[in-house]
Amino acid sequence: MIKQSEIDIIRGKELFCNDLPSKPLAKLGKILITGASGYIGGRLIPELVARGYDVRLMVRGNIEAYQAIWPNLDIVEADALNVEQLRGALEGIDTAYYLIHSLHLGPQEFEAADITVAGNFRTVAQEQGIKRIIYLGGLGDKRIPLSSHLRNRIEVADELLMGKVPVTILRAAIIIGSGSASYEIILHLVTKLPLILIPRVSINKCQPIGIRDVIKYLVGVLEVPETCRHNFDIGGRDVLTYKRMLEILANIQNTKTAIILCPLFTIRFYAYLASLITPVPNAITQILMKGLKNEVVCLDNSIKDYIPFKPLSYAEAIINAMNREDQEKVYTRWSDAYPPDHELAIKLNELDKDVPYTTKYSLITRKTAFSLFTSICKIGGKEGWFHSNWMWRLRGALDKILLGVGTSRGRKSYFQLEINDVIDFWRVEDIKQNRRLLLRAEMKLPGKAWLEFNIKNGEDRRKLSVMAYYDTASYFGKAYWYILLPFHHFIFKKLIDAIERRS
Ligand SMILES: NC(=O)c1ccc[n+]([C@@H]2O[C@H](COP(=O)([O-])OP(=O)(O)OC[C@H]3O[C@@H](n4cnc5c(N)ncnc54)[C@H](OP(=O)(O)O)[C@@H]3O)[C@@H](O)[C@H]2O)c1
């Protein structure tokens, strides 16, 4: 997520809304951004802040991390499943952006959760006298059978509309931008494979839209009050088949990937293959790729009457996304959203007992804490794990086959790490500058695991250590630990040697 301190630097060059035809509204009350930890919400924050709005962020966890990034913003911790917490979040709010989505719960659970949450939000928003809700949902014609995901996006809109608070609905198809799951799926398929077999439904049409245009419309409808109580389809300049989208990206990347329609397998199978090859896990590829069966094209273009600007073409949106990746400016990513009640979200210091299995490797060095820490923080992603990379990759590949997250999620930025960032199959649980990096495992494991890097300062030397923690109750879990212990001994020892050497 972009830092408040960075806004001044990027003002004038990088904010998406600089050329928006609407002007900031001077007398608007407080604006709530729900889903602030998510892909869209995270991109909306700097735009509204830079335009001078009084913004409150709603997050479900890690509030300290968001406070560190946005020290001057009002940030509340609330789960929309909890009505009492929602009351606190919506108190004193004028306009609320509704950007909550439970996709990360996976195909079995997301629908019910999203409907319950929307119902709670509608009730509490009405009770608190909110003047307006702005919701970004999905395109789709509800008169025809839709995929569960597209249907759910429309049902959420219907749920919000049942209340008395006026709602503005924006409906988008695939959003193309650095960090978007759909973009990463297409990009990795095209760049990693010489031949892509795609399902027959890939000849259906879609109207992808660039992330910057989505954000412009989100801010634009806020600033044009006449859009209140309206439902708008938003899309980019091109209507393309999914197949053509792959071909255009292959062309931009200058790859010779052959893209062939193959009606032999189910979408479920294609989605599984996509999850093996791309950074996006199976739970999400399944939900998104089932949407291929529906055409998602804007049926109504009335948004242009209210917020007139020329949206990007698909190719322009792709090139923008690539540029931002190259320049290390991926401020939010699909992997940022992370339910705090996720079965793996338990923190090391929240365990109600000592961790039963630990192993530690240390060395003494004269290198500075700064250089050691900088070296630690480069771990994973394209850089790899400094030693025995093939072992980490093998573990990642096994994880993917078992429907885990694998190592291909990589990391959002090569230079920066923040709490909650993903590093391959780990997630950052704690960072103390020049002292500690604590990672929590998200791969498939018969237990829970953490990896901690520590630097202790002595008079003229430092002690650098890496410590693995593991908690399990099952016999299989215990066997797993002992079987891997010799490998850990080798990998972790080599790892801290390499960190020290590269410092
Ligand atoms: N991204 C796209 O390509 C795309 C395309 C078309 C439309 N849209 C629409 O845009 C909207 C936002 O999508 P997104 O991509 O930003 O989603 P996202 O990255 O998955 O973020 C979802 C957000 O919802 C929050 N959330 C989930 N359950 C919650 C709960 N019970 N209480 C409070 N917060 C909760 C998550 O918080 P945690 O971090 O705590 O989980 C996260 O901040 C969605 O309506 C989606 O349909 C997105």
- Please tell me what DSSP assigns to residue 380: S
Check if 339 has its Cβ closer than 6 Å to any atom of ligand 1: yes
**473: its two tokens:** 């109750």
Are 29 and 54 contacting, i.e. CB atoms less than 8 angstroms apart?
Answer: yes
Residue type, 328: E
63, 75, 100, 420: residue to mutate for ligand 1 pocket, most atoms within 8 A of CB: 100
Q: Return the exposure string of 285-320: e unless at least 16 CB atoms fall within 10 Å of the residue's CB, then b.
A: bbbbbbbbbbbbbbeeeebeebbeeebbbbbbbbeb
Is the per-residue pLDDT at 172 higher than 90? yes
pLDDT grade for 339, boundaries at 50, 70 and 90: low
Is residue 424 packed enough to be buried (19+ CB in 10 Å), middle (13-18) or exposed (0-12)?
A: buried
**374: its two tokens:** 């900088």
Check if 176 has its Cβ closer than 6 Å to any atom of ligand 1: no
| Predicted TM-score of the model (pTM) | 0.90
What would the mean pLDDT of 99-127 be, rounded to a whole number? 93
Is the per-residue pLDDT at 295 higher than 90? yes
Instruction: Give the residue from 91, 108, 92, 90 showing the smallest Cα distance to 100.
Output: 90
Check if 291 has its Cβ closer than 6 Å to any atom of ligand 1: no
Is the per-residue pLDDT at 150 higher than 60? yes
Are 165 and 229 contacting, i.e. CB atoms less than 8 angstroms apart?
Answer: no
Does the CA dihedral 468-473-474-478 come out positive or negative? positive
Check if 117 has its Cβ closer than 6 Å to any atom of ligand 1: yes
Residue ranges matching CATH 3.30.530.20 in the chain: 354-502
Could you report the per-residue pLDDT of 206-231, keeping only the tens digit for each?
A: 999 999 999 999 999 999 999 999 99
Check if 99 has its Cβ closer than 6 Å to any atom of ligand 1: yes
The rounded distance, in Å, linking the Cα atoms of 478 and 239 is: 54
**How many beta carbons lie within 10 A of that of residue 487, not counting itself?**
12
- Which residues face 454 on adjacent strands? 436, 465
Check if 335 has its Cβ closer than 6 Å to any atom of ligand 1: no
Are 417 and 432 contacting, i.e. CB atoms less than 8 angstroms apart?
Answer: no
The rounded distance, in Å, linking the Cα atoms of 187 and 253 is: 9
- What is the topology classification, in CATH, of domain 4-326? Rossmann fold (3.40.50)
CATH class for the region spanning 354-502: alpha beta
Residue located via tokens 């992603």: 381
Q: Give the mean pLDDT of the chain.
A: 91
Is the per-residue pLDDT at 313 higher than 90? yes
pLDDT grade for 341, boundaries at 50, 70 and 90: low
Is the per-residue pLDDT at 402 higher than 90? no
Could you report the per-residue pLDDT of 261-276, keeping only the tens digit for each?
A: 998 889 999 999 999 9
Instruction: Give the residue from 317, 96, 365, 119 showing the smallest Cα distance to 207.
Output: 317
Residue 144: strand, helix, or coil: coil
Whose C-alpha lies nearest to ligand 1, atom 24?
Answer: 100
CA 337 to centroid of ligand 1, rounded, Å: 7
